[in-house]
Amino acid sequence: MNQLILSSPSSSGCSGYSHLNLQQTHQLHAHFIKTQFHNPHPFFSQSHFTPEANYNLLISSYTNNHLPQASLNCYLHMRTNDAAAALDNFILPSLLKACAQASSADLGRELHGFAQKNGFASDVFVCNALMNMYEKCGCLVSASLVFDKMPERDVVSWSTMLGCYVRSKAFGEALRLVREMQFVGVKLSGVALISLIGVFGNLLDMKSGRAVHGYIMRNVGDEKMEVSLTTALIDMYCKCECLASAQRLFDRLSKRSVVSWTVMIKGCIRSCRLVEGAKNFNRMLEEKLFPNEITLLSLITECGFVKTLDLGKWFHAYLLRNGFGMSLALVTALIDMYGKCGQVGYARALFNGVEKKDVKIWSALISAYAHVSCMDQVFNLFLEMLDNEVKPNKVTMVSLLSLCAEAGTLDLGKWTHAYINRHGLEVDVILETALINMYVKCGDVTIARSLFDEATQRDIHMWNAMMAGFSMHGCGKEALELFSEMESHGVEPNDITFISIFHACSHSGLVVEGKKHFNRMVHNFGIVPKMEHYGCLVDLLGRAGHLEEAHNIIENMPMRPNTIIWGALLAACKLHKNLALGEVAARKILELDPQNCGYSVLKSNIYASAKRWNDVTSVRETMSHLGMKKEPGLSWIEVNGSVHHFKSGDKTCTQTTKVYEMVAEMCIKLREAGYTPNTAEVLLNIDEEEKESALSYHSEKLAMAFGLISTAPGTPIRIIKNLRICDDCHAAMKLLSKIYARTIIVRDRNRFHHFSEGYCSCLGYW
DNA sequence: ATAGGGTTAG
């Protein structure tokens, strides 16, 4: 044992001293406490012993046994006993590793200062450990500063820095570093290659990922790295939704680790191959490999991602049955999974069972409530969290913002934005995108655009959010301009980008542009059109009246069209009053989904517009026979930070009398302006709002009346509706905007309508 | 090598 004590630093740079196993460590500690660190333990030879050696051995042992706090306590003990001066470049990495494990940025910085004062700041091992420490504590900038100042670097320094960038999701920086490595002639180590594969997996860039795969096949013969490199490749293929390639690699892998299995099963779940995932899990157990905590964390998280409650519950049961301690991370993952599956009850129960709660667990519960749109609970929980002196982080704020976006509550969204600024929370790409998305969905594209322009970093998601914003607001031209701007920035569009582009074209009548971009998507960008893209194309052509061409697309698309595709055609037939084709579409929809009530209604509307009243009645009778229910129409408006909901004919509002008086006034003024309710139109649109309430009491009109009585003259009125706005309300809103000199911004299920001076921004495309 | 958050036709 003696010769172990002062062995030379290992190449990892983090375990300069040898270490003991957990049991020995505890023994050693007990001995030191008894002797105040001044007598040697039997592990030491007398001649080598110093009190500092006791500390050092203890520190490296605790760190390597993943007890960072114990390790750091030893350091604090050293400091109070004036023994810290004995720290050298061999033990510093071990302490820094403990700081990383415990996320103690303050102690880490202190040790950095110590290293600088004592001439260890240019030691390669110390620097490598510093980089890791800073990154794990969330200070990527400090990590790269350390790297930049290093007088000399070894292979580990380069791959450490690369790993830091990848873990912090700074993929652009990571790629820049790889280019620099190639430029200065540093060969990519196995570890560096793993990080590089991670970059492409996260960027969903399979082309480059495949290239790295090829490079490895040709250049890497290191057998020690086989399993980890292949595992990284499997993960990359899974993330890029190429399960077949992943499975092939996995099957050929000579030795599989728990991580290989984890990654493979995770990939199955992500691609919704649940049975295969479960089978693989059992195969893993049969091969006597057992899941660790991270395995379960990953799999449970993945269940949330694809919203598979059953499998999620199964893993929950598995960990209970197999004696996994309920760590904070596991509970958080479970809360997150239940939240994404819409099971707030389970999420809440798990949350209540936790004694000491951190930001992550609070954020997970908040996002669970956000998923089911519980505005009050979300903001109350947020305040409760602050009362408990837990500080929110960027992830918490993203949840709040996406709820504000969904609910369209601009005031609350602005409050959240202000909170971020007031508390100096770091705004990264994701948070910035969440802000842009919030402003877009709350109806303020101008602020969204300025945030977008000022953003220091833009990824594809942010570009997409901004383009989707323009398309929702009917700004087709702006969306297309942004697309070419993105191209000139060299950012590759993805499938989602094109959905926004087609949507934008469709809502601005840009048929030629839309078709052109469909071709570019396929031929220039190599994106295989999905069902969604064909849906957009049908909508684009149909809206513009090219019904036959749209029908042709459906007949010739490579997959079986779903109800949504036929629904787009049916809606176009209704718009252009093509009864024959409409019937074809309606029949297809009912074949595919006999329970689908929306389309039954649409079908009856087509009959109504052709004045075939007997057919209308028969469709209605079939519907009530099958017990089909429509989604009730709902509108809401935010005034002074609180949200007021209205159903059609609603009388539950506290100011009901005033609201209905206002509606009466609106009706009189509308009639004076020459407006008559269009009863034919009513029939055409009963799909969207219950028929029993008269037109005047449609939910958006009630919300409008409420807005008029509770906001200052001249301020814009913002209304959100869960269904499509009906023709009648649309016509009324145009006039109302003029009568009351208000800008009215209505977000319906499809898009925004900006009413002003008697006009609507949608120009009939909706 | 596996571990929270953002973008998606009708």
pLDDT digits (tens, 9 = 90+) for A542-552: 999 999 999 99
Give the model's confidence band at A686: pLDDT under 50 very low, under 70 low, under 90 confident, else very high: very low
Q: Quick check: is A413 in a domain?
A: no
pLDDT at residue number A9: 35
pLDDT at residue number A509: 87
Query: Region A628-638: what's the mean pLDDT?
Result: 78
Residue for token digits 């086989």? Answer: A226
CB A551 within 8 A of CB A569: yes
Could you tell me the distance in Å between the CA of residue A136 and the C1' of nucleotide B5?
A: 18
Q: Which of A58-67, A233-242, A277-286, A464-473 shows the lowest per-residue confidence on average (mean pLDDT)?
A: A58-67
What does pTM read for this prediction?
A: 0.81
The CA distance from A745 to A756, in Å, is 9
Nearest nt to the CA of A295 via C1' is B2
Top-confidence range, A78-82, A137-141, A310-314, A576-580: A310-314
**Between these two residues, A110 and A35, which has the higher pLDDT value?**
A110
The CA distance from A108 to A98, in Å, is 9
Bridge partners (DSSP) listed for residue A636:
A645, A720
Bridge partners (DSSP) listed for residue A721:
A635
Strand B reaches within 7 A of the A140 CB: no
Query: Region A447-460: what's the mean pLDDT?
Result: 90
The CA distance from A623 to A146, in Å, is 70
The CA distance from A341 to A350, in Å, is 15
Other C-beta atoms lying within 10 Å of the C-beta of residue A391: 11
Bridge partners (DSSP) listed for residue A643:
A638
Give the model's confidence band at A10: pLDDT under 50 very low, under 70 low, under 90 confident, else very high: very low
Q: Residues near A80 by Cβ (< 8 Å), separated by ≥ 6?
A: none
The CA distance from A753 to A733, in Å, is 10
Q: How many domains does chain A have?
A: 1
pLDDT at residue number A627: 65
pLDDT at residue number A324: 87
Give the model's confidence band at A42: pLDDT under 50 very low, under 70 low, under 90 confident, else very high: low
Who among residues 666-725 of A has its Cβ near strand B, under 7 Å? none
pLDDT at residue number A169: 81
User: Residue A711 class from Cβ within 10 Å (0-12 exposed, 13-18 middle, 19+ buried)?
Assistant: middle
Strand B reaches within 7 A of the A585 CB: no
Using alpha carbons only, what angle is made at residue A283 by residues A277 and A284, rounded to the nearest 5 degrees?
90
Strand B reaches within 7 A of the A267 CB: no
Other C-beta atoms lying within 10 Å of the C-beta of residue A81: 12
The SS3 assignment for A646 reads strand
The SS3 assignment for A713 reads coil
Nearest nt to the CA of A461 via C1' is B7
- Provide the 8-state DSSP code for A744: E
pLDDT at residue number A45: 60
pLDDT digits (tens, 9 = 90+) for A718-740: 999 988 888 788 889 999 999 99
Strands A642-647 and A634-639: antiparallel
The CA distance from A635 to A471, in Å, is 22
| Residue range of the domain that includes A698 | 635-760
pLDDT digits (tens, 9 = 90+) for A118-128: 999 889 999 99
Q: Quick check: is A136 in a domain?
A: no
**Between these two residues, A717 and A457, which has the higher pLDDT value?**
A717
Could you tell me the distance in Å between the CA of residue A427 and the C1' of nucleotide B5?
A: 12
CA–centroid distance for A192 within its chain: 27
CA–centroid distance for A128 within its chain: 32
Could you tell me the distance in Å between the CA of residue A301 and the C1' of nucleotide B8?
A: 21
Strand B reaches within 7 A of the A101 CB: no
> What phi, psi does A10 have (nearest 5°)?
-85, 170
CB A759 within 8 A of CB A734: yes
Could you tell me the distance in Å between the CA of residue A404 and the C1' of nucleotide B4?
A: 19
Top-confidence range, A40-44, A116-120, A217-221: A116-120
Who among residues 722-751 of A has its Cβ near strand B, under 7 Å? 750-751
Nearest nt to the CA of A293 via C1' is B3
CB A3 within 8 A of CB A52: no
**A253's tokens:** 């892998």
Of A102, A115, A90, nearest to A63 by C-alpha is A102
Residue A5 has pLDDT above 60, yes or no: no
pLDDT at residue number A331: 93
Q: Which of A233-242, A594-603, A746-755 shows the lowest per-residue confidence on average (mean pLDDT)?
A: A594-603
Which residue's CA lies closest to nucleotide B8 at its C1' atom?
A: A496
Sign of CA dihedral A254, A255, A260, A265: positive
Residue A682 has pLDDT above 60, yes or no: no
Residue A119 half-sphere exposure toward CB, CA atoms < 13 A: 2
The CA distance from A724 to A92, in Å, is 64
Of A585, A517, A576, A518, nearest to A542 by C-alpha is A576
Give the model's confidence band at A675: pLDDT under 50 very low, under 70 low, under 90 confident, else very high: confident
CB A62 within 8 A of CB A78: no
pLDDT digits (tens, 9 = 90+) for A87-100: 888 889 999 999 98
Q: Quick check: is A659 in a domain?
A: yes
| Helix, strand, coil distribution of chain A in percent, nearest 5 | 65, 5, 30
Residue for token digits 């802000």? Answer: A435
Residue A72 has pLDDT above 50, yes or no: yes
Who among residues 470-529 of A has its Cβ near strand B, under 7 Å? 471-472, 494-496, 499-500, 502-503, 506-507
For strand B, which nucleotides have at least one atom less than 7 Å from a protein CB?
A: 1-10
Q: Which of A82-91, A177-186, A752-761 shows the lowest per-residue confidence on average (mean pLDDT)?
A: A82-91
Strand B reaches within 7 A of the A169 CB: yes
Who among residues 535-554 of A has its Cβ near strand B, under 7 Å? 535-536, 539
Residue A689 has pLDDT above 80, yes or no: no
Strand B reaches within 7 A of the A259 CB: yes
Query: Region A131-160: what's the mean pLDDT?
Result: 90
> What phi, psi does A337 have (nearest 5°)?
-65, -50
The SS3 assignment for A276 reads helix
Residue A684 has pLDDT above 60, yes or no: no
Which residue's CA lies closest to nucleotide B9 at its C1' atom?
A: A536
The CA distance from A704 to A733, in Å, is 9
CB A567 within 8 A of CB A586: no
CB A209 within 8 A of CB A197: yes
Nearest nt to the CA of A232 via C1' is B1
Query: Region A65-91: what's the mean pLDDT?
Result: 84
**A520's tokens:** 């570019």
Mean residue pLDDT of chain A comes to: 86
CB A636 within 8 A of CB A720: yes
Distances from the Cα of A512 to the Cα of A2, A516, A532, A541, angstroms: 81, 6, 19, 10
Percentage of chain A beyond pLDDT 90 is 48
**A318's tokens:** 């598995």
Who among residues 586-645 of A has its Cβ near strand B, under 7 Å? none
pLDDT at residue number A8: 34
Could you tell me the distance in Å between the CA of residue A446 and the C1' of nucleotide B10?
A: 27
The CA distance from A219 to A217, in Å, is 6
pLDDT digits (tens, 9 = 90+) for A313-370: 999 999 999 988 888 899 999 999 999 999 999 999 999 999 889 899 999 999 999 9
Q: Residues near A603 by Cβ (< 8 Å), separated by ≥ 6?
A: A570, A582, A583, A586, A589, A590, A619
Query: Region A385-403: what's the mean pLDDT?
Result: 91
Q: Quick check: is A654 in a domain?
A: yes
Using alpha carbons only, what angle is made at residue A294 by residues A289 and A298, rounded to the nearest 5 degrees?
105
Stretch (H or E) spanning A745: strand A744-747
Query: Region A460-465: what's the mean pLDDT?
Result: 92
**A588's tokens:** 């297809």
pLDDT digits (tens, 9 = 90+) for A253-310: 888 899 999 999 999 998 888 998 999 999 999 999 999 999 999 999 999 999 999 9
Query: Region A672-682: what's the mean pLDDT?
Result: 66
The CA distance from A367 to A400, in Å, is 8
Could you tell me the distance in Å between the CA of residue A209 and the C1' of nucleotide B9?
A: 29
